[in-house]
Amino acid sequence: MNRHFDEELDGLNSDILKMGFFAQEAIHKSVEALKNRDRALAESVISSDVLVDELELAIDEKCLDLIARHQPVADDLRFITTGMKLNAELERIADIALDISQRVLELADKPLLKPLVDIPLLTTLSKSMVKMAIDAFVNKDIEAAKKVLLSDSQADSLRNRIQKELVEEYMIKDISTIPRAIQLLLIARFLERICDHTTNIAEDVIYMVQAKVVRHHPEKLP
Amino acid sequence: MNRHFDEELDGLNSDILKMGFFAQEAIHKSVEALKNRDRALAESVISSDVLVDELELAIDEKCLDLIARHQPVADDLRFITTGMKLNAELERIADIALDISQRVLELADKPLLKPLVDIPLLTTLSKSMVKMAIDAFVNKDIEAAKKVLLSDSQADSLRNRIQKELVEEYMIKDISTIPRAIQLLLIARFLERICDHTTNIAEDVIYMVQAKVVRHHPEKLP
């Protein structure tokens, strides 16, 4: 039974990796759609969200089934319940990519307000934080999880810079830019929110590995 | 053992109710602070978030401990893991109240942009959705959970109305209002996000009670 159980835990890892891949793809495509004002690509992000939702439910069921059949305790139990939490976080991340795509549809028929510089930077950061956070879970790697937590302030300052520029250089100087600027401002906030979800994952991973609470206590970082 | 286990499950209910009470209090105070530009009240929401965080961790540990000691299956297992999910959702809701309070601090020294009408409406709606969602969990009440799901479109339309008014009646007509209007717009979005979290809870409750998936499938509402 034990070897079988280990194989099933490996299966959970693969499922989480797949979920993470879907989430990263969704982020990537939603911002590509923004850059190229590509309505079809934005719509494809929205329509493929159903696959992410189905995978989330399947992973959730698998976790419950694993607990019910194998009655794990201690580390194994914590691994599975952490998997359930990651699963929910990744589904939310994909949902945010869908939110971004909806903003893109609002913008698709209008001229691009400005060349995009900081939004692609924030996108790259958010995708790499998603990847790092999932790898931290799969490899039970505290160092990778810590890197995710340390990256979050970068995300905050990029978001603030984007917001400041949109208000001061566009909205206040030319009121005709306001509707488009608000969409970009929301997109920047969505991307920063994705980074927040990755820090939730990283905190859960550290808690799982060390059974030590860093969540809400950054000063206790190992 | 069974009676003892039942008592522990009741304890989990009480903890979730307490967590819900904290979340509702935080929402209420953050918007009261906005109405009265009350810096001290906004700061109290921010500083008391640590209590919510501690309660979240305690509930999480209690759930893991319940699973490890009693090795529940089927309904009981689903009840406990749903409790873990609610716990996380309620902590996020309290975090959003903290976000609102931070916006309030930005606004506290400035004259109020406009008499607040729709934001208090959205606040009342979000608090009642939180309460309904938790009651649905505690009473395993599908009807209450469905009401939460049906309320969400109200939240969306209030949020849209607030955003439209801020852009069209304030920002575009008077650029000096832009910084304050953006803060109010963000607060409206935060409140609507709280409502989204309550729909996550409601979906989890329906899933728990019926072992039937309505999550992501509103058309399958019983």
Residue A139 banded pLDDT, cuts 50, 70, 90: very high
The verdict on A58 touching B (C-beta cutoff 8 Å) is no
Q: With the C-alpha atoms ordered A81, A84, A89, A90, is the resulting torsion angle positive or negative?
A: positive
B204 has pLDDT over 70? yes
Contacts of A54 in chain B (CB under 8 A): 216
Distance of CA A212 to CAs A55, A67, A147, A201, B115, Å?
30, 22, 17, 14, 47
Min Cα separation B148/chain A (Å): 19
The size of the A-B interface in CB pairs under 8 A is: 66
Residue A219 and residue A55: Cα distance in Å, rounded? 35
Residue in B81, B182, B216 closest to A84 by CB: B81
Residue with tokens 């039937």: B212
| B173-193 pLDDT per residue, tens | 999 999 999 999 999 999 999
Interface of A with B in 175-194 (CB under 8 A): 175, 178-179, 182, 185-186, 189
| A60-74 pLDDT per residue, tens | 999 999 999 999 988
The verdict on A67 touching B (C-beta cutoff 8 Å) is yes
| A151-179 pLDDT per residue, tens | 999 999 999 999 999 999 999 999 999 99
pTM of the predicted protein model: 0.92
- Give, in words, the CATH class of B2-220: mainly alpha
The verdict on B2 touching A (C-beta cutoff 8 Å) is no
The verdict on B85 touching A (C-beta cutoff 8 Å) is yes
Residue B164 and residue B112: Cα distance in Å, rounded? 18
Residue B219 banded pLDDT, cuts 50, 70, 90: low
B179 alpha-carbon distance from chain centroid = 26
